């Protein structure tokens, strides 16, 4: 069932209020990737149990597989059935056209990431394309997120060690963040402070002092991508500093695959796939619940 423009604008207005609430009350929205209906159910069940507001997010791979309108309808149907506070984030949208399609579909959060598709894109090009999305988003009120350069890693289980000397070269700076936010007009700045896409053999380390400086330099929302594999105390401090959104994907994917492999080994003669998924969903739900606790968002939902 398609949403009316009134419903879309109302959802976007509620999303803006929610991000203000997150910053004022020092919690962060977990932005959890939806690979399929099972992962959506896992996030939903965790949100219901924890009474936490959440973002369901899809990147281009999930969009190509599931479809923007299908994602919108599935989330809307679950929201209406269970009364959860849940919004949709289009993550790492690789072009202006793709971002506009997410806005048209009624997504409340849009992350435009030109450098993801074009690693050598200049900051001027990124700003110009981001401004186009910011302007287009005014029609619905969707919140726009971006960053001035490529953010490394991938949402997978990595075997290589983290080269922090290389990663530090791409860290955000307070002045750079301020200039980018002012030039682009975004609602949310994706900060790079040691966070990195994917899960690695060693825990990630976040530069919280740098985060404080960035928080003081800009007045918009701050997000952290690449939250998987990060010790919880970093998130606990980050939300106190003023992070309002943390992206989680790889931790969920690893739990999903490892549990599915275990279930398949234990049930070699079962071919009704639906009967194999309860344990998988529970494993992913456990990951989501643990992140909700780290983000201080349990009990923070506006229930309807």
Q: pLDDT tens digits, residue range 262-298?
A: 999 999 999 999 999 999 999 999 999 999 999 999 9
* Alpha helices, DSSP H, located in the chain: 5-25, 37-50, 60-66, 68-82, 96-104, 114-117, 123-137, 164-167, 174-184, 208-217, 232-241, 250-266, 278-294
Residue 50 binned pLDDT confidence (cut-offs 50, 70, 90): very high
Residue positions annotated with a catalytic role: 91
What pLDDT is stored for residue 154 in this prediction?
Answer: 59
What pLDDT is stored for residue 229 in this prediction?
Answer: 85
> Which has the higher per-residue pLDDT, 198 or 228?
228
What pLDDT is stored for residue 204 in this prediction?
Answer: 77
What pLDDT is stored for residue 156 in this prediction?
Answer: 64
Contacts of 20 (CB under 8 A, 6+ apart): none
Report the C-alpha gap between 111 and 4 in whole angstroms.
Answer: 22
Share of the chain above pLDDT 90, in %: 82
DSSP 4: P
- Domains, the chain, ordered by start: 5-294 (3.20.20.70)
Q: How does the average pLDDT of the chain come out, rounded?
A: 93
Q: Is a pLDDT exceeding 90 seen at residue 127?
A: yes
């Amino acid at each position: 069932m398609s949403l009316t423009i009134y419903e879309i604008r109302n959802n976007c207005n509620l999303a803006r209020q929610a991000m203000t609430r997150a910053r004022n009350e020092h919690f962060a929205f977990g932005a959890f990737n939806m690979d399929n209906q099972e992962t959506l159910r896992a996030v939903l069940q965790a949100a219901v149990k924890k009474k936490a507001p959440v973002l369901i997010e899809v990147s281009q791979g999930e969009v190509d597989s599931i479809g923007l309108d299908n994602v919108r309808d599935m989330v809307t149907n679950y929201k209406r059935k269970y009364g959860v506070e849940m919004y949709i984030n289009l993550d790492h949208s690789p072009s202006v056209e793709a971002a506009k399609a997410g806005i048209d579909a009624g997504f409340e959060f849009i992350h435009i990431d030109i450098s993801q598709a074009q690693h050598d894109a200049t900051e001027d090009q990124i700003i110009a394309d981001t401004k186009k999305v910011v302007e287009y988003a005014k029609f619905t009120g969707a919140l726009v997120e971006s960053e001035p350069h490529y953010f490394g890693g991938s949402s997978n289980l990595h075997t290589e060690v983290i080269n922090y000397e290389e990663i530090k070269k791409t860290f955000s700076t307070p002045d750079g963040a301020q200039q980018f936010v002012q030039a682009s007009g975004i609602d949310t700045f994706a900060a790079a402070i040691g966070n990195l896409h994917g899960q690695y053999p060693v825990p990630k380390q976040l530069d919280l002092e740098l985060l404080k400086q960035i928080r003081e330099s800009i007045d918009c929302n701050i997000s952290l991508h690449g939250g998987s594999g990060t010790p919880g105390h970093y998130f606990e401090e980050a939300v106190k500093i003023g992070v309002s959104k943390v992206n989680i994907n790889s931790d969920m994917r690893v739990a999903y695959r490892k549990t599915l492999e275990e279930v398949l080994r234990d049930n070699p003669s079962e071919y009704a796939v639906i009967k194999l998924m309860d344990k998988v969903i529970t494993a992913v739900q456990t990951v989501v619940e643990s992140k909700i606790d780290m983000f201080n968002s349990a009990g923070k939902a506006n229930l309807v």
